[in-house]
Amino acid sequence: MLSIRNLHATVDDTPILDGIDLEVRPGEVHAIMGPNGSGKSTFAHVLAGREQYNVTQGAVQYLGRDLLAMSPEERARAGVFLAFQYPVEIPGVSNIYFLKAALNAIRKYRGLEELDAMDFITLVKEKVGMVKMDEALIYRAVNEGFSGGEKKRNEILQMMVLEPQLAILDETDSGLDIDALKTVADGVNQLRSDERAFIIVTHYQRLLNYVVPDHVHVLDNGRIVKSGGPELALELEERGYEWLNELTAGAA
Amino acid sequence: MTNPEHTVYGDEFRGMEKSLPGSQAPWVRALRADAMETFIEQGFPDTRLEEWKYTDVRPLARHHFRASPGLTTIRESALQSRLLTSEPAHRLVFVDGHFAPELCPFNTLLKGVTLTSLAFALENRPQELETWLGRNIDMGNPGFNALNTAFMRDGAYIRLAPGVALEQPVHLLFIATGKPDTVATVRNVIVAGPGSKAQIIESYFSLNDAAYLTNTVTELSVGDGADIEHYKLEQESETAYHMAGIYVTQTRDSRFTSHNIALGGKLARNDLTVALEGAGADCTLNGLYLARGRQHIDNHTRIDHHKPQASSREWYKGVLDGHSRAVFNGRIVVHRDAQKTVAQQSNHNLLLSEEAEIDAKPQLEIYADDVKCAHGCTVGQLDEEAVFYLRSRALDEATARTFLIYAFAAGVLERIPLVPVRRYLEEQLTGRLPGLEFPGLTGEPGSVVA
C-alpha cells in the first residue's frame, strides 16, 4: 500500500529526515516512536503533503501512485488522513459544515453522489456517539475554544467520517487523559480492517496498550534505527530513549 | 482663500438656499449659511492634513455633485433583499436622499417615540431640533461636514422619550438610483432620552453602478442610562463615493454599540466619533471592512473618555484583496478627569494580495494616571498551517483559503446580536467568497446542513 524508499526531507534547509525506508501493507498498524526532535512529526506531515517540508531525495508509492507528486487534497481524496497534533481552529465555520464539505469532496472524487442532509446528519451523529463527543460541539466552530481532549476527539471523529485507507496519527495521544486515550484507541480499533492501514506516531508507549501495533519502528535523527514487534515499544518504555544512544553507538 | 472648485457649491447653495428644508426657521438658515461659509474657507481636505494623509479626495473634489432634483419612484420589490427581516420593523426609506413615504410601512409606534423625516420635522416643528442639530458634529474635520450641514436634505429624526424601549429595530434605508454626478446629502438626528433603548440600522446601497456621492452625517445623543445599538451597513456601488460621519455623545451610565460594516464604494470614508461625557458610560465599536479591486475604505474612529469609570472596547477587522487600500485610524483620548477608564482596541488585517495595502494607526493619548488601556494591531496573510489543515481534509486550495477568509471575518459578525442582520451579512460575505454555500456556516442545531 505504502512504500517509502530512502526518504530525505528538509525544513528551511535543515535536514530532518535522513533516509527512511518503510513498507506498509493493507491491514497493518505501524507505530513510529522516537524522542522529541527525531523527525516523527515531519515524517507524518511529509506523507500528508505539507509543502513547507522539502523532499530532497527518495520516493513514496501509495496504492501504485507517486504520492510525492500529489497535492495534499489529492492525497486526502485518495484516502490519506492525518490526525493533527495541534488541530487548527476555524472560527465562524461550523464543524458539521466543514465535515460535510470534506466528505463530499472525497465522495465526488470517487464518483459517488453527495450525501443528502438527512443521511449525513445521521452518519455524523452515529460517529459522534462512538467518539463520546458532546453533540453540541458539531454545531460549534471547528475546534474553536475546544479543550485539548475535545480537539483530539474531533480529529478522530473526522477520521471516522472520512474513512481513510491510510490514517496517520501524529501524537494524537499526547496530553490526553485515560478516557480520551481509550476513545482514540477505540476509534482506531473500530476502523482497523484488512484494507486499511495505520501509522501511529507517538512519543509514549501507552496508546499501544490499547492499539496493538504489528510493527514498531524507532526513529532517531531522521532515520529508523530499530524495528520490531509490539515488544519493542515495551522495551523502549522500560529503558527510555537513552537506550538509543547505546544502539546507535553499537551500530557505528 | 477661495477656490473655484468650492465656489460652485457656494453658487449652487445661493440658488437653492430658500428651498431647503427648514428655511423659514432663522436658526436653520443661519446654521446652513455658516456651514457654507466654513466650507468655502476650508474646501475639501487634502492629504497634507494628518487625518486625510492616506485618503485623497481630489477625484471627488474635481466633480460638482448636484443634489438629485426630486424623488425617483422605485418599486418596493427593489428593496426586498435588503429588508433584513420579514417582521414589520420600523422602516424609513430614502431614495437619492429624498424621503419616500410610500415605501415605509405603516407601523404603530409606542407612545413617546418620534420617528419621522428630518425634513418634515424641520418644516413643521424646527424648534424641537434646535438643541440637537449640529450639536455633536465636528466642524474641524474639513469639507464634508460643512457641506452636509449646508445642503442637508433629509434623513431620519428619531427621538425616544425617557424610559421608552423599542422592541423592534428601526431600519433606515438609503438607496441610490445611480444618477451620475448627483449627491444625496443625508442627515440623521437621534436623541435617546434617559433610560431608553433601541436598535437602529442604517443601510446604504445602490440599484446600479454609478459615480454618485453619498454625504451622510448621523448625530446621536445617548442619555443617562440609555442603550443604543447602531448598525451601519455600507454597500454602495463600487464606482461611488461614500463620505460618512457618525457623531455620538454619551452621558452617565449609557451604553452605545456600533456595528460598522463597510463593503462598498470606490472611495468610502467613515468618521466615527464617540464622546463619553458621563461617568460609567460604555461603548463598543465593532467593525469590518472588505475591499477588493481598486476600492479604498478609510475608517477613522475616535473615542474621548472625558469622565471617570467609563469603558470602551473596539474591534476592527479588514480583508483586502486586489489593488485595494484601507485605512484604520483608531484614536482614543483619555482626558485628565477620566480616572478608572478601561479602554481596549484591536485592529487586525488580512491582506490577500501583494498589491493590497493597509495603513493602520492606533493612537492612544492618556492624560489620566489610573487607567487600563490596551491595543493591538496586526497585518498578515492567511496562516499556511491552517490552509494545509483544510487541504488535508480534501478541500482544494481555493476553497481552503475561502474558508479561512470567512473565518477571519466571522468574528466580527458573531458579535452582532440582531440575528437577521447577522444572517444577512453572512450571506453577503459568502456571496463575495466563491466556493461557499449559504446557509450553514454557523448556527444552531437544525439550521445547519440545509
pLDDT at position B5 is 67
Judged by CB atoms closer than 8 Å, whether chains meet at A87 and B389 is answered as yes
In this structure, the dihedral spanned by the alpha carbons of residues B19, B22, B24 and B30, taken in order and rounded to 10 degrees, is -100
Instruction: Give the pLDDT mean for A184-188.
Output: 92
Mark yes or no for CB contact A92/B449 under 8 Å. no
Domain membership of residue B422 (yes or no) is yes
Instruction: Give residue B444's pLDDT.
Output: 40
Give yes or no for residue A45 having a pLDDT over 90: yes
Measured between alpha carbons, how far is residue B43 from residues B4, B138, B142, B266, B406 in Å? 10, 15, 7, 21, 40
Q: Which pLDDT score is estimated for A120?
A: 92
Whether the pLDDT of residue A110 is over 70: the answer is: yes
Please give the order of strands across the beta sheet that includes A197-202.
Answer: A80-83, A166-170, A197-202, A29-33, A215-220, A223-228
Chain A contact set for B403 (CB, 8 A): 90, 93, 98, 101
What is the per-residue pLDDT across B106-135, written as a single tens digit (0 to 9) for each? 667 778 999 999 999 999 999 999 999 998
Residues of chain A with pLDDT > 90, as a percent, come to 74
Q: How many CB atoms lie within 10 A of CB A36?
A: 8
Binned at pLDDT 50, 70 and 90, residue B149 comes out as very high
- Contact criterion met (CB < 8 Å) for A92 and B404: no
Q: CB–CB of A93 and B407 under 8 A?
A: yes
Asked whether residue B56 is domain-assigned, the answer is: no
Segment A216-235 shows an average pLDDT of 91
pLDDT of B385 over the 70 cut: yes
Residue B146 counted as domain residue: no
Look at residue B6 in the predicted model and tell me its pLDDT. Answer: 75
Nearest residue in A to B394, CA atom: A73
pLDDT above 80: residue A190: yes
pLDDT given at position A250: 54
Q: Sort out which chain B residues have CB atoms less than 8 A from A109's CB and list them.
A: 394
* Chain A CA closest to residue B406: A92
| A73–B445 CB contact, under 8 Å | no
| Residue B390 belongs to a domain | yes
pLDDT of residue A249: 64
The pLDDT of residue B439? 41
SS3 B74: coil
Residue B427 pLDDT: 87
B167 contact partners, CB below 8 Å, separation of at least 6: none
Residue B449 has pLDDT above 90, yes or no: no
Contacts of B406 in chain A (CB under 8 A): 92-93
Q: Which of A52, A77, A88 to mutate to test the interface with B (most CBs of B within 10 A)?
A: A88
A94/B443 Cβ within 8 A: yes
pLDDT of A4 > 80? The answer is yes
Distance CA B450, CA A183 (A): 30
Q: What is the pLDDT of residue A27?
A: 96
Alpha helices in A131-211 (DSSP H): 148-162, 178-191
**Number of CB pairs, chain A paired with chain B, less than 8 A apart:** 106
Contact assessment for residue B186 and residue B153, using Cβ atoms and an 8 Å cutoff: yes
Chain B within 8 Å of A46 (Cβ-Cβ)? no
How many Cα atoms are found within 13 Å in the side-chain-facing hemisphere of B127? 0
* Confidence at B157, pLDDT banded by 50, 70, 90: very high
How confident is the model over A42-54, as a mean pLDDT?
95
Over the stretch A132-183, which tens digit does the pLDDT of each residue have?
Answer: 899 999 999 999 999 998 999 999 999 999 999 999 999 998 888 888 899 8
**Does B443 sit within 8 Å of A93, measured CB to CB?**
no
Mean pLDDT within B246-274: 97
Q: Is residue B24 part of a domain?
A: no
Separation between Cα atoms, residue A150 and residue A135, nearest integer Å: 11
**Average pLDDT over every residue of B377-401:** 93
- End-to-end Cα spacing for chain B: 63
pLDDT at residue number B436: 60
Total structural domains in chain B?
Answer: 1
**Residues B7-38 pLDDT 10s:** 899 999 999 999 999 999 999 999 999 999 99
Q: Taking a C-beta distance cutoff of 8 angstroms, is the pair B231, B188 a contact? A: no
CB-closest option in A48, A91, A121 to B407: A91
Instruction: Give the pLDDT of residue B448.
Output: 34
Q: Is the pLDDT of residue B194 over 90?
A: yes
Q: Which structural domain, as residue segments, surrounds residue B412?
A: 386-443
pLDDT tens digits, A82-106: 999 999 998 888 899 999 999 999 9
- Is the pLDDT at B345 greater than 90, yes or no? yes
Per-residue model confidence as pLDDT tens digits over B62-105: 889 998 888 888 888 888 888 886 666 789 999 999 999 988 87
pLDDT at B445: 36
Inside any domain, residue B411: yes
Q: Are the C-beta atoms of A94 and B443 separated by less than 8 Å?
A: yes
pLDDT higher than threshold 80 for residue B4: no
pLDDT averaged over chain B? Answer: 91
Give all domains of chain A, ordered by start, each with its CATH number: 2-251 (3.40.50.300)
Q: Is residue B394 part of a domain?
A: yes
**Residue B434: pLDDT band by 50, 70, 90 thresholds?**
low
- Which three cell numbers mark B259? 456595528
pLDDT at B81: 83
Is the CB of B288 inside 8 Å of chain A's CB atoms? no
Question: pLDDT value at position B393?
Answer: 97
This model of the complex carries an ipTM of 0.95
Assign B336 to helix, strand or coil. coil
Shortest distance between the Cα of B395 and any Cα of chain A, in A, equals 6
Answer yes or no: are the C-beta atoms of B222 and B153 closer than 8 Å.
Answer: no
B169 to chain A nearest CA, in Å? 25
pLDDT of B447 = 36
What average pLDDT does range B398-409 have in this prediction?
90
Whether A96 sits inside 8 A of B448 (CB atoms) is yes
Contact A33, A203 (CB under 8 A): yes
pLDDT tens-digit profile of B198-244?
999 999 999 988 899 999 999 999 999 999 999 999 999 999 999 99
Quick check: A124 pLDDT over 80? Answer: yes
Q: Is the peptide bond before B417 cis (omega within 30 degrees of 0)?
A: no
Work out the average pLDDT over B375-394.
94
* Residue B429 is assigned to a structural domain of this protein: yes
Q: What is the rounded CA–CA span in Å between residue B231 and residue B202? A: 6
Nearest CA in chain B to A158: B393
Return the biggest CA–CA distance within chain B: 70
Length of chain A: 252
A76 neighbourhood in chain B, CB within 8 Å: 391-394
